[in-house]
Amino acid sequence: MKLTRITPWFRPVLIAGTAAGLLASCSTLNYYTQAAQGQLELLSDARPIDDWIADPGTSTKLRHRLETARQIRRFAVAEMALPDNNSYKNYAALKRQYVLWNVVATPELSLRPLQWCFPVAGCVNYRGYYDKAAAESYAKELRDAGDDVEVGGVAAYSTLGWFSDPLISTFINYPDGELARMIFHELAHQIVYVQGDSQFNESFASTVEEVGVERWMERFGNQQMRDAYARYRSRKKDFLGLLMKYRKALEQNYALVDRSDAQKRAVKARLFQDLKDEYQVLKGNWGGYAGYDRFFEQPLSNAHLASIATYEDFVPAFRALLQREGSFPKFYQAVKKLADMDRSDRHRVLNALVPPLVTAPLMVQRSEIRP
């Protein structure tokens, strides 16, 4: 399940460190410090792909994965007109399962995530930590205060071009189709990204991703690869549809004014148990595939579902726009013009192209859960 889409909460941190020192509390300063250190360590650990491939100490498996990633990266530039910069041209081998951990929290009887605001960086719905113990420590503080909390590992993230994002050991072994999807998606965000309009941003990047993988598969794929990717997309759709179903049920529960808090807690517990039970049925339909079990490692809470939303609604409209423009460069120019409009005008134009889908959920601000 995709969880690369996180806003780069650290992007101004290297620039704004001095200002933060004047404006922020000690705890916030510590947070900025670990964010800056984590990003700098990631960049310093990264080496060019060609160096890794030429290194006799590089395993055959890793060499093959890096060669595939390099091929995907070149395809992104030559055939999709995606940015020809240094993103995904380096590789970093980390000694941990995830590159960072996100802490997401909500009130006990609400699905609205808490926000944290920082100088220059603005407000975000999570806090990211490069050290799991630090994330768990902060999560404990929030739980002790009565909030629902989830700590989710993130295998990949994008800085939207502020830094040269490297390939990382946390996701380099994804199947070819998924690796291509991720690279295309994140490079698309470097072309256009509008603050505060996730529906627009994610639909655009998802369109580039979908069309890109289709064309890349036509050029370099085989039937086994296509079948595997189709299964991945089908399972992802099923699972996110399940989560959306229970998110809506929880929202309805919390909105009832004639229901006491005690009653809402009881319904909440029942719904989470029903979610776990229905997931087992879904696994059976998948032939026992257990790739999403990781979602249930922590006790389920509102925080698990706080970041579920319908962020692919405009994909049909963007696909129609791409077909109308006839090429990726012209398509990107048309999307940039949309990005310059007010949100309501942007959405009106997209709705006029193709009516948005009713349900097409996408997980954001969560970990990559391998299919």
Taking only the tens place, the pLDDT of each residue in 191-232 is 999 988 889 999 999 999 999 999 999 999 999 999 999 999
- When pLDDT is averaged across residues 43-69 and rounded to a whole number, the result is 97
pLDDT at 119 (0 to 100):
62
The per-residue pLDDT for 365 is 41
Interaxial angle between packed helices 343-353 and 198-220, expressed in degrees from 0 to 180 and rounded to the nearest 10 = 40
For range 154-174, the mean pLDDT: 92
Closest CA to 126 of 368, 367, 369: 367
Percent residues over pLDDT 70 in the chain? 87
| Residues 6+ positions from 153 with CB-CB distance below 8 Å | 97, 98, 100, 101, 132, 367
Specify whether the CB–CB gap between 246 and 267 falls below 8 A. Answer: no
How many helices (H) and strands (E) would you count in the chain? 13, 10
Residue 121, pLDDT score: 54
In this prediction, residues 45-49 reach a mean pLDDT of 96
176-191 vs 328-339: helix axis angle to the nearest 10?
A: 50
**pTM for this one?**
0.83
Tell me what pLDDT residue 362 has: 41
